[in-house]
Chain A
Amino acid sequence: MEVYIGQDKNRSSQSYPDLAEIEVRNLKVRYPGDDRDVLNIEDLIIPKGQTLGIIGSSGAGKTTFLRTIGGFVKPYSGSVTVTNNTRGNIGFIFQNFNLIGRGTVFENVLFGRLGKTSTIKSIFGMFSDRDKDIAFEAIKEVNLTSQIDQRTDTLSGGEMQRVAIARAIAQEAGVILADEPVSNLDPALSHEILDLLVQSSTKHRATLIINLHQPALAKRYVQRIIGLRKGKIVFDKESSLLDNSHLNSIYETEFESSIMFESKN
């Protein structure tokens, strides 16, 4: 296994390699009543500000890995340490958006401030002016101000994912985890959303980890790529170094180059 902890030549100014944001040590994850390791990661350091893509077949453990970092899944053994892991420091962006459909764009983004608002005040919707400012700025950043009072269940898929990104921005999250954020979107929208995701996390100096189905998208948008196969890291390099031989070992198949990298435009 080749371990890469370094900087991309293009985006080095946004990466802080000395500061480990996420540290994984001897991590094993199992599901209850099953003694197989869904994840088995010995050693992984993700520096602050890095954009990291995770690729691998369905069932390789991509989602489980993100959910373990996000705290939704408890390790069977070993540890995942996230620096400054206070309430709301990890923003999660989901494949199926997971917004509160009956809430407006503004309300959903404002929910990103829940961790910083007292329970009583938040229950009666009494968010501070500062929180509202932050939410508004986040909505501006994802370019949704014209739909700010619209219910999110009336938005398109791309717009819903923008709301989710705005919520993560409003959270002022140090880490943003995106679990296949574009797999429900068409190719053009996928580029739009990934652009936005990478730009915002870079701007706010957040560490970004994205699970992606398409290696071509990973190669294009992230600095570093990790390949998972059956819960283990089988590839870990600067994204530009990913080639077909790696893909074949990650996916255990014979890919033709045209299939994997054609969508680069």
Chain B
Amino acid sequence: MRTDYIRSTKSRVNIQRILTFFILIILFFWSSRGADVQPTKLFEGLPRMADFFSRMVPPDTSVAKTVFKSMVETIQIALFGTFLSAIISFFAGILAAENITPRYINRPVKWLLAMLRGIPVILLALLFVSTVGLGPFPGVLAIALHSTGMLGKFYSEAMENAQIGPIEALESAGANFVQKIRFGILSQVAPDLARDTLFRFELNLRESLVLGLVGAGGIGFYILLYIRSFQYEKVATLTLVVLVAVVIIEQISISIRKSLR
């Protein structure tokens, strides 16, 4: 009896493992075929890559100021887009939280957020450029809307994880619905919301880099311009500015996130 049981658990575990392994193998080859993977091409092309890099040196620092300015604009787009998104997500998160609203409200809001997540940021940028014209404003709108899909979901999940006990304690102390959300839920999950927001800001900063490709402001415009006109020395300067800015801002954001409790 006992040995039978032990044997049966063994075979169950093994079947699961073998199945998982085969599925991963199949997915590996299926995706590599679709991606037209040809390692030989990569090796043959190595000299051309070296050529590409050699044309980047020495970097043309005459554009440093212009590039820096547009990098600042990119940061502003990402930051303001995150602010807007945080405000919308705050209310969306409350509406989508299963422990706050009834099913017939939180389900549709969750679907709406999933739809927003599904639309690529570049597509939203194109849409808003054709709506409000060229410049950083359509970029801000695109970033705000796109990140609300994720941030609203994260916020609602954080609120759903709030412990019920302290909320009940406040209820017995006479707190009404709004007071319970403010002190029972938000007080508990505020650090989570802040962490989610900072993380989203880091993502937004990287996504904002490409907004200029469709005329939605920021450094993307120069990426397109310099590459199209084969000015690789300028591309080098631009790459350096982007790299330094992104790394510094991410490090600041990460250290703030770690300090929250």
CB–CB B172/A114 < 8 A:
no
B177-231 residues at the A interface, CB under 8 angstroms: 178-179, 182-184, 187-188, 190-191
CB–CB B184/A100 < 8 A:
yes
Most central of A94, A100, A101, A116 by chain B CB within 10 Å: A100
Shortest Cβ distance from A167 into B: residue: B173
CB–CB A114/B188 < 8 A:
no
Main secondary structure of the interface of B (DSSP, over half): helix
Given contacts A100-B184, A100-B187, A100-B188, contact A114 B169 (CB under 8 A): no
CB–CB A115/B183 < 8 A:
no
Q: Would you give the 0/1 interface string for A86-122, flagging 1 where the beta carbon is closer than 8 Å to chain B?
A: 1111111010101111110000000110111001001
CB–CB A114/B179 < 8 A:
yes
Q: Which residues of B contact A171 (CB under 8 A)?
A: 173-174
CB–CB B178/A92 < 8 A:
no
CB–CB A116/B176 < 8 A:
no
Number of A residues with CB within 8 Å of any CB on chain B: 30
CB–CB B172/A99 < 8 A:
no
Q: Which residues of A contact B176 (CB under 8 A)?
A: 87, 114-115, 119
A41-75 residues at the B interface, CB under 8 angstroms: 70-72
Q: Which residues of B contact A90 (CB under 8 A)?
A: 172
- Is there a chain B Cβ closer than 8 Å to A194's Cβ? no
Q: Which residues of B contact A70 (CB under 8 A)?
A: 172
Measured as residues with beta carbon below 8 angstroms from the partner, the interface class of chain B is 20 to 34
**A117 vs chain B, min Cβ distance (A):** 8
Q: Which residues of B contact A197 (CB under 8 A)?
A: none
**B5 vs chain A, min Cβ distance (A):** 31
Most central of B165, B168, B175, B182 by chain A CB within 10 Å: B175
- Is there a chain B Cβ closer than 8 Å to A123's Cβ? yes
- Is there a chain A Cβ closer than 8 Å to B102's Cβ? no
Given contacts A102-B190, A171-B173, contact A114 B166 (CB under 8 A): no
CB–CB B173/A102 < 8 A:
no
Given contacts A101-B188, A103-B187, A116-B174, contact A164 B179 (CB under 8 A): no
CB–CB B169/A98 < 8 A:
yes
**A97 vs chain B, min Cβ distance (A):** 8
Shortest Cβ distance from B180 into A: residue: A114
CB–CB B178/A119 < 8 A:
yes
Cα–Cα distance between A70 and B165 once the two chains are bound (Å): 13
Q: Which residues of B contact A123 (CB under 8 A)?
A: 178-179, 182
**B195 vs chain A, min Cβ distance (A):** 14
CB–CB B173/A99 < 8 A:
no
Given contacts A99-B166, A100-B188, contact A91 B178 (CB under 8 A): no
CB–CB A114/B190 < 8 A:
no
Q: Which residues of A contact B166 (CB under 8 A)?
A: 98-101
Q: Which residues of B contact A100 (CB under 8 A)?
A: 166, 170, 183-184, 187-188
**B165 vs chain A, min Cβ distance (A):** 4
Cα–Cα distance between A99 and B188 once the two chains are bound (Å): 10
Binding site for B on A (CB under 8 A): 70-72, 86-92, 94, 96, 98-103, 111-112, 114-116, 119, 122-123, 164, 167, 171, 177
Given contacts A71-B172, A92-B173, A114-B183, 11 further A-B contacts (CB under 8 A): A72-B171, A87-B176, A88-B173, A94-B165, A100-B166, A100-B184, A102-B187, A111-B173, A115-B176, A122-B182, A171-B173
